[in-house]
Chains A and B, each alone.
Chain A
Amino acid sequence: MASGERASFKNPVVNWIDERLPVFTLMNKEYGVFPTPRNFNYFWNFGAIAMVMLVLMLVTGIVLAMHYTPHADHAFGSVERIMRDVNWGWMIRYLHMNGASFFFIAVYIHIFRGMYYGSYKKPRELLWIFGVLIFLLMMATAFMGYTLPWSQMGGWAATVITNLFSAIPLIGGPLVELLWGGFSVDNPTLNRFFALHYLLPFVIFAVVFLHVWALHITGSNNPLGIEPKGKQDTLPFHPYYTAKDTFGLSIFLILYLLVSFYAPNMFAHPDHFVEFNPMQTPPHIVPEWYFLPFYAILRAITFDIGIPFTEIVFIPAKLGGVIAMFGAVAMLFIMPWLDTHPVKSARFRPQYKLFLLLLVVDFLILGYVGMEPADAMLFGSIKLLYLGQLCTAYYFAYFIVILPWLSRTEKALPLPSSISEAVLNKHKAKPSPEAAA
């Protein structure tokens, strides 16, 4: 990092520091003049938005930790104290609680954008993998955070989810005991979850650093999915994208604050306001909304896998569900090698676009299935489970069958020769306001 041209600065103090540690040169190179494709649309705001949400979660989380007591007897009460007696505690907590939801909203849109415009393809595979890793870490962090208020919903969600690991052959049992720190979800579980919930965001921060580093090596993808060929195709990051990101961010924050201040418990189930009671199972345990599609995939595997017509079972249903759930995330990791089509952007791949939009619908339906009780019916007669299984099948088929198949057969539409040409043509087609005047 130390090598390379140093920028010159007028301010002597800045210059003095930069000669010794070129942080200002670095910032100028990576965020000032950094060449960025000139044709981003608003989908490209969500990386910056997610970054802001991460910082917001860290700041609010650290303040909450100053007032929270990670003990089974006091956790629920200490959260209520934050809500009632700590100065501005209610605001910090509501911002943190809903911040998690909005962080996931931003990240889901960010992931969708990557899939739609082919941002996972060569040369950005590693960048993509870091991204999926962040997503996975976020899920672990959010799950443990869900447990901390020690409510009926949090405690029982922890019980259900940690129990999944018992399906793993041989190490399952000991692993669950390790997670629990005992033989049931209790005070030791809460303690380790709190420690990890505090740790993981910093791990996320480190992986975000790698994610951004990798991004600055390859440069950003863009809606056309063709690489910039020269200066005419790019704009300096500042002021063009700093301004655009700030505008997009402020719209996102308006939505976030609207929920945090006017419907702060919109995402919260009433069982969040009842203290955890290990002796009394709530009638309907649901995870947070951002896990619902994966929860539906978990519950879709209701059958053992073995040799038909014999009693030999290789994979019992429970293990099958766990494999499917983690497999659903694993698909994202290997996506760059499942889709080897040379064209990146879905704009030029009509078939890919169709199947991807179907996947979005599929994912939303899975979310709905995950929200409903396991024995729910569709239109009063069909088991909702079948819909969940169908959607799970499509989810995996999309990655394992459709992507490789399209890679070989799909004929892409003609690509524009360069970004600048495409941008200029678009504006030529419309009569410019100057010409009209």
Chain B
Amino acid sequence: MLRLIPILFCFVIAIGAASPAKAAEGEHPPHLHWSFQGMFGSYDKAALQRGYKVYSQVCAACHSMDRVYYRNLTALGYSEAEVKAIAAGFTVTDGPNDEGDMFERPARPSDHMVNPFPNKEAAVYANNGAFPPDMSLLAKARHGGANYIFGVMTGYEEPPVDAELLPGQYWNRYMPGHVIAMAPPLSDGMVSYEDGSPETVAQYASDVAHFLSWASEPTLESRKRTGFKALLFLLVFAGVMYATKKKIWANAH
């Protein structure tokens, strides 16, 4: 057993090293079960499509997502033709053309998702001085990830009596510091679902959190598949090496 001490050492350091970073103020959001968790986890395509619908009809009014391209939407289960149609619904500025003029054209799958504002200043000006963050990496850029996004979407409350909020500020249970400049974005029935899923704030919140998790980590599924193969190989290899080592050392003791 004593021989295993160095290996245990690795474990201890690795666990100690994974410092659970603390969220400044704000409550811990509820822990939901997500289909992409675990060793064989994968995204739920139906949830992704619903989440994209919520994003494009609600969030996209203020939040950009410019590291995600329309072509990436095939990962949600859309066909190439469908993606082309989705992209064509947006207009982008391109150019200059042969005459040196900029021109507008329908977006193509190779374009990134169109920004709601021409620049950051316009976004800040239109949003009461607060910048709506780009959503491409939001699920990774916040403690708690998908749970946090779900929490903020469902965590709007009446402020405590002693809290002083400025106009355009809202109270949110799970927001660090509790004060948020975004008005409650979701309400029951505001986005219509075709697959019969409940049209509630909780369902919208969980779908959009699912979608944003995909947006921040689109390679998750192939990562888990590759990891499984690599580990399987290494386990067999380690077993073979253990037997080899035993055999070689048999006459040395």
Residues of B with C-beta under 8 A to A243: 241, 244-245, 248-249
Is B16 on the interface with A (CB-CB < 8 A)?
yes
Distance in angstroms between the alpha carbons of A263 and B226 in the assembled complex: 14
Residues of A with C-beta under 8 A to B61: none
Q: Which of A65-73, A77-85, A126-134 participates in binding chain B?
A: A77-85
Give the residue name and chain of the B residue nearest to A367 (CB): B16
In the complex, chain B residues 77-109 whose Cβ is within 8 Å of any chain A Cβ: none
Is A398 on the interface with B (CB-CB < 8 A)?
no
Distance in angstroms between the alpha carbons of A240 and B231 in the assembled complex: 25
Indicate if the CB atoms of A289 and B227 lie closer than 8 Å: no
Give the residue name and chain of the A residue nearest to B238 (CB): A250
Indicate if the CB atoms of A105 and B13 lie closer than 8 Å: yes
Q: Which of A41-49, A301-309, A317-325 participates in binding chain B?
A: A41-49
Indicate if the CB atoms of B10 and A255 lie closer than 8 Å: yes
Is B3 on the interface with A (CB-CB < 8 A)?
yes
Give the residue name and chain of the B residue nearest to A371 (CB): B19
Indicate if the CB atoms of A105 and B223 lie closer than 8 Å: no
| A243, A267, A286 pick with most chain B CB within 10 angstroms | A243
| Residue interface bits B27-43, CB-to-A below 8 A is 1, else 0 | 00000000000010000
| Residue interface bits B112-141, CB-to-A below 8 A is 1, else 0 | 000000000000000000000100110011
Indicate if the CB atoms of B19 and A80 lie closer than 8 Å: no
Indicate if the CB atoms of A262 and B248 lie closer than 8 Å: no
Indicate if the CB atoms of A286 and B241 lie closer than 8 Å: no
Indicate if the CB atoms of B227 and A257 lie closer than 8 Å: yes
Given the interface contacts A247-B241, A251-B7, A284-B24, does A261 sit within 8 Å of B223 by beta carbon?
Answer: yes
Distance in angstroms between the alpha carbons of A253 and B142 in the assembled complex: 29
| Residue interface bits A397-429, CB-to-B below 8 A is 1, else 0 | 000000000000000000000000001000100
Is B234 on the interface with A (CB-CB < 8 A)?
yes
Measured CB to CB, the closest approach of chain B to A188, in angstroms, equals 24
In the complex, chain A residues 214-266 whose Cβ is within 8 Å of any chain B Cβ: 235, 239-240, 243-244, 246-248, 250-255, 257-266
Residues of B with C-beta under 8 A to A14: none
Indicate if the CB atoms of A251 and B3 lie closer than 8 Å: no
Is A383 on the interface with B (CB-CB < 8 A)?
no
Residues of A with C-beta under 8 A to B253: 423, 427
Give the residue name and chain of the A residue nearest to B6 (CB): A42
Residues of A with C-beta under 8 A to B228: 261
Give the residue name and chain of the A residue nearest to B141 (CB): A273
Give the residue name and chain of the B residue nearest to A372 (CB): B22
| Residue interface bits A351-395, CB-to-B below 8 A is 1, else 0 | 000000000000010010001000000000000000000000000
Give the residue name and chain of the A residue nearest to B134 (CB): A275
Residues of B with C-beta under 8 A to A423: 253
A-B contacts, 23 listed (Cβ < 8 Å)? A42-B4, A43-B6, A84-B72, A84-B219, A94-B223, A105-B13, A112-B9, A235-B252, A239-B248, A243-B244, A243-B245, A247-B242, A255-B14, A257-B231, A261-B226, A261-B228, A263-B18, A267-B18, A271-B141, A273-B141, A274-B141, A289-B16, A367-B16
Task: List chain B positions with a Cβ less than 8 A from chain A.
Answer: 2-7, 9-11, 13-14, 16-19, 21-22, 24, 39, 67, 72, 133, 136-137, 140-143, 216, 218-219, 222-224, 226-228, 230-231, 234-235, 237-238, 241-242, 244-245, 248-249, 252-253
Task: List chain A positions with a Cβ less than 8 A from chain B.
Answer: 38, 41-43, 45-46, 77, 80, 83-84, 90-91, 94, 101, 105, 108-109, 112-113, 235, 239-240, 243-244, 246-248, 250-255, 257-267, 269-271, 273-274, 283-284, 286, 289-290, 292, 364, 367, 371, 423, 427
